[in-house]
Amino acid sequence: MNNLKYLVLSALFVTVGVFAQQDQEKKEPQQGHVNQNKFKQLYDEFSTPNMYRAASGAPGVAYYQQQADYVMDLELDDVNAKLSGFETITYTNNSPDVLKYLWVQLDQNMRARDSQTPLIEGSGVNPAAQISSYANDYMGEGFDGGFNIQEVKGVNGKPLQHMINRTMMRVDMPKPLASGEQFSFSIKWWYNINDHVNGRGRSGYEYFKEDDNRAYVMAQFYPRMAVYNDVEGWQNSQFWGRDEFALPFGNFEVNITVPADHILDGTGKLTNRKEVFSKDMMKRYEKAKKSYNEPVIVVTQDEVIEKIKTKSTKTNTWKLYAGNVRDFGFATSRRYIWDMMAVKIGNKDVMAVSMYGKEGNPLWEDWSTKAVASTLKSYSRMTFDYPYHKAISVHAKQQGMEYPMICWNYGRPDAEGNYSDRTKFGMMSVIIHEVGHNFFPMIVNSDERQWTWMDEGLNTFVQYVAEQDFGKWYPGALSEGQSAYPSRRGPAKNITRYMGGDQDFIAPIMTKGLNTYQFGNNAYGKPGTALNILRETVMGPDLFDYAFREYAQRWMFKHPTPEDFFRTMEDASAFDLDWYWRGWFYTTDYVDIGIKDVKKYYVTTKANKAGGDLAKRYGMDEKDLVYFVEDGSDEYTAGMKSESISDKSTTLKEYLMDNFTATERAKMEEPKFFYSVTFNKPGGLVMPIIVEYTYADGTSKTETYPAQIWRLNDNEVSKAISSAKEIVGITVDPKLETADVDTSNNTWPREVKQGDFDKFKNKVKN
């Protein structure tokens, strides 16, 4: 630091220190307090690292996870909308613990007549109701859903003791299962399939009255093993309908018998394709495997229209095998059009696939499969190469749900095939989101039942990146006048209304999904936006992307916790982010940073009162100091009269430059204007202060003060600004990057509104 700057800063520092000391001496003694600093490390909130989960956020040396393998035979009764199944589960105990019993999830029981799910929601009498809703709610017995468990047996054919507690079933083993051992058992079951359009649900059928057909999207259709892990032992949270699923990985061999005129696709590789495909379908499929730019239609709309005129009484069995997946889903109907194209991921080809009814056209034929392909490329770039051989998008009314390799998505033109931008981009976005779920949580397998944001929030963040990629890679998808994809979630400004809302109806992100207010904002919008801000504004894309990929690759095909994510992001970036996690994820604080005050100063060699007092107190020569006089103060007025202060700044005397050579002096820019800018923080969330300074000549400069500027004062901070040019305008967060909920205090002069600031700058320039 050169001596001139040192003298100036020393004078300011000493002045502030003296005044602070004097103020402190006047205060009454205060009670002590615990560490409430918002930069306090998260040691109290985090679990202690151990052999299972390392302090770095990586799996520990003793990390384990259980495995559940399934062999299933399923039969669809299309006449009665009923699904029957017989499954054999082989459970491998990779934990160091001895297990006395196993827990199986029975998610369909949420729709049983004795389900308690409707009883946990408050309700009242609405002033009006749809006829169908009125009939369902008040006049009928309700849907007769839920699993009918016919038998639970060991491999020796002997019945196993079991107990059903709502959506969970405990299976008692004949003897405890030791570490490293396997246990196999079978379950025979059936249930009535729900109408997912009128009765709601994540899966089921849609009925088409005009041709008396159904389109089935099937999931949560089989009893599924619960997770047992080092964090909480057995997953013991019931399925109430909102929180999704925690599941172990395993291998699936599934045989599905459906009407012979149905087409079917689902999780896993089709192992008997030649048995269920026609010759024309096989030719088109082989062509699709070599088409990388445009989808190839394997089952055409004309073929579907002809097919639905009759119903086959024969059946086909479709055989699928999936290795190392956490779940299984499938779709089947005689109404499905089917198209495919190849997409290059790393050094292999992946099939992007769509299945849709004629109601989806022309929108689905034009854009569904391209959205699938684009999503796989974007997510692979942000995480790891997509490991499976296909990804399927299935058209289903009012749906948006995901399973390994397959998902169902909404978006339907009107009867004439017309659609609005809202319908088009809604369809594209839900496809990107649901296909993206293959990565989170189907592969990076977080506990959705406990931490919904790790599923939905992380995925919403990458969805935003993928949407922007889609707009660049497929500009024809954009509407006239659009230069970028119109993402609904991701940009900081889109979350401000929620974050600045009624605190009585906002919960921290780190809340179990079932217990949150405003589920969409809490689980999707806020965490997705928080990660986008962290990437674009706090860390920068390079550091963030490296750390994010490290997290994804460390935990692919494993079960991470929030702490594993937080720790990995810091470990791989050398960025201390505890303050960020604490504020955004553990609290409901919001961003509101403003400009409290701006004072303008001039420099002079004539001692002012405060400077003179300082010189006397510390035995300094008044000639060794530079003095700052506030614009408009009494001292400023007196100085102007005595001509010791110019209208800008007095030229510094040569004796202040004695420690610099002529060459050094020539390079030095003498500041003519000095300002003290005080920023305050009415909102509780600490964030970097991004400031744009606009000068009288029309130019501007942006400065970012790191979030740590708030570490010693959580209410307000001041910055001394020296400038060769006069500052005529100051704006905090000029590009709306921080989710500031109130921008009315973001500008100086105050009468200049942030939205009009560009006009103001142009006016100044001209």
Spatial contact of 688 and 705, defined as CB atoms under 8 Å apart: yes
Q: Give pLDDT, residue 415.
A: 92
The DSSP annotation for 16-38 comes to: HHHHHHHHHHHSPP--------T
> Is it the case that residue 387 has pLDDT exceeding 50?
yes
In tens, the pLDDT along 407-451 reads 999 999 999 999 999 999 999 999 999 999 999 999 999 999 899
Kindly give, in sequence order, each residue whose CB lies less than 8 Å from that of residue 53, ignoring residues fewer than 6 positions away: 47, 59, 60, 63, 230, 561, 563, 564
Distance (Å, rounded) from C-alpha 604 to C-alpha 601? 10
Kindly give, in sequence order, each residue whose CB lies less than 8 Å from that of residue 73, ignoring residues fewer than 6 positions away: 85, 86, 87, 255, 257
Q: Apex CA 280: angle with CA 279 and CA 282, to 5°?
A: 65
Q: What is the pTM of this model?
A: 0.90
Beta strand spans in 472-623 (E): 594-604
In tens, the pLDDT along 90-145 reads 999 999 999 999 999 999 998 877 777 776 667 777 788 777 667 666 666 777 78
Q: How many residues does the chain have?
A: 766
> Is it the case that residue 575 has pLDDT exceeding 50?
yes
CA 147 to chain centre: 33
Say whether 571 sits in a helix, a strand or coil. Answer: helix
Spatial contact of 735 and 749, defined as CB atoms under 8 Å apart: no
Choose among 427, 491, 436: nearest CA to 458.
436
The average pLDDT across 548-562 equals 98
Distance (Å, rounded) from C-alpha 635 to C-alpha 647? 14
Q: Give pLDDT, residue 753.
A: 53
Q: Give pLDDT, residue 706.
A: 96
Say whether 216 sits in a helix, a strand or coil. Answer: strand
Beta strands 406-409 and 390-395: pairing type? parallel
Residue 303 DSSP one-character state: H
Domains in the chain: ranges and CATH = 1-22+592-766 (no CATH), 46-63+451-589 (1.10.390.10)
In tens, the pLDDT along 682-703 reads 999 999 999 999 999 999 999 9
Say whether 745 sits in a helix, a strand or coil. Answer: helix
Phi, psi of 743 (to 5 degrees): -95, 5
> Is it the case that residue 287 has pLDDT exceeding 60?
yes
Mean pLDDT, the chain, integer: 89
H helices, E strands: number in the chain? 18, 31
3-state secondary structure 119-167: HHCCCCCCCCCCHHHHHHHHCCCCCCECCEEEEEEECCCCECCEEEECC
In the structure encoding, which two tokens stand for residue 225, read together? 């093993």
> Angle between the 526-533 and 578-586 helix axes, to the nearest 10 degrees?
160
In tens, the pLDDT along 581-609 reads 999 999 999 999 999 999 998 777 677 77
pLDDT band for position 184 (cuts 50, 70, 90): very high
> 182-186, 243-247, 453-457, 645-649: lowest mean pLDDT where?
645-649
Q: Is pLDDT larger for residue 386 or for residue 634? A: 386
Tokens 């959705």 found at: 448
Q: Edge-to-edge, what's the strand order for the sheet holding 263-266?
A: 204-208, 213-218, 330-333, 263-266
Choose among 565, 533, 567: nearest CA to 552.
565
Distance (Å, rounded) from C-alpha 684 to C-alpha 582? 11
The average pLDDT across 395-404 equals 95
Q: Give pLDDT, residue 638.
A: 66
CA distances from 134 to 137, 138, 325, 575, 580 (A): 5, 6, 41, 55, 47
Sign of CA dihedral 652, 655, 656, 660: positive
Q: Give pLDDT, residue 84.
A: 98
Say whether 42 sits in a helix, a strand or coil. Answer: coil
Q: Give pLDDT, residue 763.
A: 45
Q: Give pLDDT, residue 1.
A: 42
The average pLDDT across 244-251 equals 94
Q: Give pLDDT, residue 659.
A: 67
In tens, the pLDDT along 20-37 reads 444 445 567 788 888 899
> 334-343, 488-497, 588-597, 746-755: lowest mean pLDDT where?
746-755
- Output Rg (C-alpha) for the chain, integer angstroms: 33
Q: Give pLDDT, residue 603.
A: 76
Q: Give pLDDT, residue 269.
A: 98
Tokens 């239609």 found at: 297
Say whether 586 sits in a helix, a strand or coil. Answer: helix
Choose among 361, 440, 392: nearest CA to 217.
392
Phi, psi of 289 (to 5 degrees): -65, -15
In tens, the pLDDT along 359-377 reads 999 999 999 999 999 999 9
The DSSP annotation for 600-669 comes to: EEEEESS--HHHHHHHHHTT--GGG--EEEETTSHHHHHHHHTTSS-SS-PPPPGGGGTTS-HHHHHHPP
pLDDT band for position 751 (cuts 50, 70, 90): low
495 burial level (CB within 10 Å; 0-12, 13-18, 19+): buried
Q: Which amino acid is at 595?
A: I
CA 100 to chain centre: 38
Q: Give pLDDT, residue 10.
A: 45
Beta strands 594-604 and 627-630: pairing type? antiparallel
Percent of the chain residues topping a pLDDT of 90: 75
* Alpha helix positions (H), 231-362: 273-276, 279-288, 301-307
Distance (Å, rounded) from C-alpha 41 to C-alpha 187? 49
Phi, psi of 119 (to 5 degrees): -80, -15
In the structure encoding, which two tokens stand for residue 30, read together? 């205060």
pLDDT band for position 752 (cuts 50, 70, 90): low
Phi, psi of 444 (to 5 degrees): -80, 95
The DSSP annotation for 392-427 comes to: EEEE-TT-EEEETTEEEE-----TTS---HHHHHHH
Sign of CA dihedral 677, 680, 685, 691: negative
> 91-95, 122-126, 522-526, 564-568: lowest mean pLDDT where?
122-126
> Is it the case that residue 301 has pLDDT exceeding 60?
yes
Distance (Å, rounded) from C-alpha 311 to C-alpha 259? 8
In tens, the pLDDT along 473-503 reads 999 999 999 999 999 999 999 999 999 999 9
In the structure encoding, which two tokens stand for residue 260, read together? 């012979």
Spatial contact of 193 and 82, defined as CB atoms under 8 Å apart: yes
